[in-house]
């Protein structure tokens, strides 16, 4: 009998996986999988198109299909300077860069690498005595598309002898029926927002919700219509805007300054409860937040009053240096996060036990 036990013990040494479970590397503790590709630098932003994940670095644009295969890796060149993160839409993406000493909103088509339109920001018509330029900003988004990529709004600096402030440029984009050619790109309005002081650290985000743009900053929250009319809807330091079931919410630096609008953003009022929501990302029917740009995402509960910690792989946690997590999106039945130059995915978000 002792000989039999000894033989079984020896076999276990050579077939470890069948004799015990490695809890330190189990799927429960490491639920995320990584897409097999390599980038030149960090992924600046990511977007869920109808059937693809779109991602961009300073030098490359990627299209990833629903099987998590990279179907396009497009070089887009290294710019002389960058002004905030790029904007990605279903059919168009934009970089805000310096080219040939000019500030340029560089528009690309997602499905045609040969179609690029350079909108020279410095040449956009503004009133006499005013100059216009891009402003480097640490905002969550410095520009955003509407739902069908037919319009782009992005932040600029308006400079005058008496001082400077932020403005929003609204651009109409007409594409061919196949979405593979630019038909026209036209600036329809430069929205001058004197209340929003120009400083790289003052702007927080710009979002498109329900037909209007929402700009958040240390100087308040602003609603800008698609044709360029604006109004300040919240005072104080605002961070981000998101919507749920017809209600629009605006977050703030202070947890008790949590606002909602039930009339499509025309007016906002305090919710009446505190919320830890700061920079918010909607993925499928769930809402995620991180306190500072680049920090780990946490899951907001249904009332937006509490946060739950998400289970991340050890390899992901090893990369988390407070400046790694940039986007969380949902496409094709999976959640995707991008961390530095990597994209990880999971079908179901797992939460840490309380």
The alpha-helical segments, DSSP class H, found in the chain are: 2-14, 16-19, 314-319
pLDDT digits (tens, 9 = 90+) for 169-220: 999 999 999 999 999 999 999 999 999 998 778 899 999 999 999 999 999 9
46-61 pLDDT, tens digit each: 999 999 999 999 999 9
Q: Which residues pair with 278 in a beta bridge?
A: none
Buried b (16+ CB within 10 A) or exposed e, 272-293: eeebbbbbbbebeeebbbbeeb
- Confidence check: pLDDT of 17 > 60: no
CA distance 242 to 37: 31
| Average pLDDT of the chain to the nearest whole number | 91
**Whether this model's pTM surpasses 0.75:** yes
> Cβ neighbours of residue 185 under 8 Å, at least 6 residues apart?
107, 117, 119, 171, 172, 173, 174
Q: Out of 25-39, 89-103, 205-219, which region has the weakest mean confidence (pLDDT)?
A: 25-39
C-beta of residue 226 within 8 angstroms of C-beta of residue 214: no
Hey, what are 309's tokens? 């910690």
The DSSP bridge pattern shows strands 307-309 and 325-331 to be unpaired
CA distances from 146 to 91, 108, 157, 232 (A): 11, 16, 22, 20
Tens of pLDDT, residues 260-293? 999 999 999 999 999 999 999 999 999 999 998 8
Cα-trace Rg, the chain: 23
């Amino acid at each position: 009998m002792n000989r039999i036990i000894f033989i079984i013990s020896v076999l276990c040494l050579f077939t470890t996986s069948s004799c015990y479970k490695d809890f330190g590397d189990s799927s429960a503790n490491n639920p995320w999988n990584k897409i097999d590709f390599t980038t030149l630098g960090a992924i600046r932003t990511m977007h869920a198109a109808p059937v693809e994940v779109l991602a961009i670095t300073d030098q490359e644009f990627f299209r990833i299909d629903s099987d998590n295969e990279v179907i396009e890796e497009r070089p887009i060149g290294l710019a002389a300077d960058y002004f905030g993160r790029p904007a990605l839409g279903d059919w168009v993406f934009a970089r805000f860069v310096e080219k040939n000493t000019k500030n340029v909103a560089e528009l690309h088509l997602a499905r045609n690498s040969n179609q690029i339109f350079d909108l020279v920001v410095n040449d956009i018509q503004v009133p006499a005595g005013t100059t216009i330029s891009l402003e480097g900003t640490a905002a969550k988004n410095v520009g955003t598309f509407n739902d069908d990529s037919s319009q782009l709004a992005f932040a600029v600096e308006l400079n005058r002898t008496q001082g400077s402030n932020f403005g929003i440029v609204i651009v109409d984009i007409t594409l061919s029926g196949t979405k593979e050619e630019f038909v026209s790109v036209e600036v329809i309005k430069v929205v001058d927002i004197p209340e929003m002081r120009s400083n790289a650290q003052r702007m927080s985000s710009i979002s498109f919700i329900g037909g209007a743009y929402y700009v958040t900053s240390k100087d308040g929250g602003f609603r800008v219509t698609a044709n360029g009319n604006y109004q300040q809807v919240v005072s104080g330091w605002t961070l981000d805007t998101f919507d749920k079931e017809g209600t629009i919410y605006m977050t703030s630096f202070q947890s008790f300054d949590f606002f909602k609008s039930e009339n499509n953003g025309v007016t906002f009022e305090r919710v009446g409860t505190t919320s830890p929501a700061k920079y918010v990302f909607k993925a499928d029917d769930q809402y995620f937040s991180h306190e500072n740009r680049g920090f780990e995402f946490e899951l907001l509960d249904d009332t937006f009053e509490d946060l739950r910690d998400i289970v991340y792989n050890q390899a992901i946690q090893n990369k988390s240096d407070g400046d790694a997590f940039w986007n969380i999106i949902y496409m094709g039945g999976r959640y995707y996060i991008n961390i530095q130059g990597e994209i990880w995915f999971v079908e179901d978000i797992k939460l840490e036990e309380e």
